[in-house]
Amino acid sequence: MTERSNGAPNVLIIDDEAGILDTLRILLKNEGFTPHVALGGKQGLDQIESLSPDIVLSDVRMPSVSGLEVLAAARRRDPDTPVILMTAQATLQSAMQAVNEGAFYYIQKPFRNDELVAILRRAAEHRRLRVENTSLKQEIRRRDKHVGSRPIGNSRNWLDILRLAETVAPTESTVLIQGESGTGKEVVARYIHELSLRTEGAFLSINCGALPESLLESELFGHVKGSFTGAVKDKSGLFTAAAKGTFFLDEIGETTPATQVKLLRVLQHREVIPVGATEAQPIDTRLLAATNRDLEEEIRRGIFRRDLYYRLNVIAIYLPPLRERRDDIPLLAGAFLERAGTQRGETPKHLSEPALDAMMNYAWPGNVRELENALERAVILTPGELIDLDALPDRVMQPEAIKLVDERPVRNPTLETIERANIMWLLQSEAGNKTRAAETLGIDPSTLHRKLSRFGAEA
């Protein structure tokens, strides 16, 4: 229930007589409610949208907009909002019509103050119970989804990531998900959405690198008719379409400086200006973003805005590459084979021991996406139920050795050259495992990732 800081329910009083509004406002305030008044039905409709009251108390007979129209608007806005109608000319027929259309109570003027207050208290309790029931159902649905949709993996670093995602999901914080291509950034974003308070709303996503700047801005913010060639009618953008839900901006590092300025406005003011428009439109959308770029390096190069980065990076989640969570490969492979069998209407196939060994030893530069594609190919090429080594791509069967250290001597090395050699030597001693290397160095894995990117040695 929407409440003031003192816990008092908000009551919107609508009447076309100012004297009645003043009397009821004073009465309700003295009885522990938080009253708001609207002079006439038209003003009342506006306040229903802006205030989202817990209870609506409205006269029936008003010029322009009647109490029954107020009732319909309030129930469209929130079916759990009790609406109490008042009238000096009550008839059995009008009372039945009001109740049939969803009114909580129908009271005839003049009424006793204690009678009205008792009805309002019952309405407040009704509202509280309905809201609690709705919240309980949402929590049950979130828990059910949590069990069924948890991204696959049992490695320590992956479980740490899922715990962080579960912690931030119920908040409204912006989350920046970083990691190489194919590590599952959208999977984690969807998981956050499913566990959020916006799970009943839409989850919409767009790849910022897949569209030219002009088309991307139109898709993000919308446009008005005639704003450019081909804009034959007004169009809402994805920020607006994701109202009450979550909007996922994938590969946000691909955006241009001009688009970054507009995204910064969205995050600062929670509003968008459609292409060709002059007035801003408020939005109610949670933003998640992802990138496979080192945005701090992009900032140093003048490609990405520092202020936008800080707005996006409220909560940072770094997804490790698959080669750093090799223990999850059998689990992921089993899930992909199970799904492929279900889709083909066949008994799921399974991997031979040599095939699984080869997959465990491969570096997977394309990460989880490459693993899934390799298994899809293997399922198609294998007539029986056992996938053997020869069904895997050649690159998986005979992987190239990864050369971590450049053995050429360097005369008068810089500090960066020495740091690079030290990190590469440590990576070699840890068999390429960045998580263990970062722990030994005493730095965060994301910091190590940025250093390797700067060295041009991410693989």
Rg (CA), the chain: 30
SS3 of the chain: the string is: CCECCCCCEEEEEEECCHHHHHHHHHHHHHCCCEEEEEECHHHHHHHHHHHCCCEEEEECCCCCCCHHHHHHHHHHHCCCCCEEEEECCCCHHHHHHHHHCCCCEEEECCCCHHHHHHHHHHHHHHHHHHHHHHHHHHHHHHHHHHHHHCCCCCCHHHHHHHHHHHHHCCCCCCEEEECCCCCCHHHHHHHHHHCCCCCCCCEEEEECCCCCHHHHHHHHHEECCCCCCCCCCCEECHHHHCCCCEEEEECHHHCCHHHHHHHHHHHHHCEECCECCCCCEECCCEEEEEECCCHHHHHHCCCCCHHHHHHHCCEEEECCCHHHCHHHHHHHHHHHHHHHHHHHCCCCCEECHHHHHHHHHCCCCCHHHHHHHHHHHHHHHCCCCEECHHHCCHHHHCCCCCCCCCCCCCCCCCHHHHHHHHHHHHHHHCCCCHHHHHHHHCCCHHHHHHHHHHHCCCC
The band of 192, judged by pLDDT with boundaries at 50, 70 and 90, is: very high
The band of 401, judged by pLDDT with boundaries at 50, 70 and 90, is: low
- Shared fold status for 10-131 and 150-320: yes
Other CB atoms within 10 A of residue 315 CB: 17
Half-sphere exposure of 88 (CA within 13 A, CB side): 7
Cα dihedral 256, 260, 261, 267, rounded to 10, equals 170
Beta carbons within 8 Å of 284's beta carbon, 6+ residues apart: 243, 244, 270
- pLDDT one-digit tens code per residue, 408-422: 555 566 666 777 878
- What six digits make up the tokens of 399? 């992987």
At residue 97, does pLDDT exceed 80? no
At residue 102, does pLDDT exceed 90? no
Predicted confidence at residue 1, as pLDDT, reads: 46
Q: Which fold has domain 323-397?
A: Helicase, Ruva Protein; domain 3 (1.10.8)
The band of 142, judged by pLDDT with boundaries at 50, 70 and 90, is: low
CB 258 within 8 A of CB 213: yes
Half-sphere exposure of 96 (CA within 13 A, CB side): 3
d(CA 167, CA 159): 12
Predicted confidence at residue 6, as pLDDT, reads: 54
At residue 174, does pLDDT exceed 90? yes
d(CA 332, CA 151): 10
The residue to which tokens 């609506």 are assigned: 56
Rounded to 5°, the CA angle 195-199-200 comes to: 155
Cα dihedral 95, 99, 102, 103, rounded to 10, equals 60
CATH number of 150-320: 3.40.50.300
- What six digits make up the tokens of 126? 């009704």
Q: Between these two residues, 56 and 138, which has the higher pLDDT value?
A: 56
Share above pLDDT 90 across residues of the chain, in percent, rounded to a whole number:
53
CB 184 within 8 A of CB 178: no
- Mean pLDDT, the chain, as a whole number? 86
| Angle, in degrees to the nearest 10, between helices 353-361 and 367-381 | 160
Q: What distances in angstroms separate CA 35 from CA 20, 55, 78, one per listed residue?
A: 13, 10, 19
- pLDDT one-digit tens code per residue, 324-348: 999 999 999 999 999 998 888 888 9
Other CB atoms within 10 A of residue 287 CB: 24
Domain-wise residue ranges, the chain? 10-131, 150-320, 323-397, 415-455
CB 415 within 8 A of CB 384: no
Taking Cα atoms as reference points, which of 267, 258, 250 lies closest to residue 208?
250
User: Is 415-455 CATH 3.30.450?
Assistant: no
Q: Which CATH number fits domain 10-131: 3.40.50.300, 1.10.3720.10, 3.40.50.2300, 1.10.290.10?
A: 3.40.50.2300
